[in-house]
Amino acid sequence: SDDDRVEKSNLHRQILFGDEDVGRPKLDAFAAALARRFPGVDVELHRGRALPATAMELVAGAAVVIDATDNFATRFLLADACALARVPVVHAAAVRWSATVMAVAARGAPCYRCLFEDVPSEGGPDCATAGVAGPVCGVAGALAADRALRILAGDASVFGAIVTFDGLRDALRSVPVRARPGCALCG
């Protein structure tokens, strides 16, 4: 789901897009790129953003959701919608030289709100203000895809940890996350 257009500043981190896509709606450029690379794949496009009025409809019936959004408000919205719909979700984020990925089970504890109770009041750093190294986005995407595929294969070992990648040190680590007592979402 997206309603953005491809911008030149996207190209270093959103590798399905090229110079010829600048100005095009991202969904159209995405669908065309996938059709060129994987002609047998069916793509279902959802124009618009994940909003409180549409989030449940977007996640309903999904086998797994990959959250690669760029703001905390939408991350929390997807975390909540997936918990209510009992759909597993993989949260992936990248900023500067760091990436984080966390998979949450369909009936999941620990969840995203176990780490962050609510949307930070100051909003936190994002790609637009803090920047991001393009390859770090690729690592975040690969880790998220790995977790999603493992979830689809029935591998529950991906739950209960947050995976971090430090691009400056080329270090990958997995840190266990425990359910927070009294968590508003999964507690």
Please tell me what DSSP assigns to residue 109. Answer: S
**Among residues 82, 127, 137, 183, which one is catalytic?**
127
Is residue 186 part of the annotated active site? The answer reads: no
Question: H or E stretch including 139?
Answer: helix 134-152
Instruction: Give the 3-state secondary structure of residue 104.
Output: strand
Residue with tokens 């794949």, as numbered in its chain: 41
Q: Are 101 and 143 in contact (CB under 8 A)?
A: yes
**Chain center to CA of 134:** 16
Catalytic positions are 127
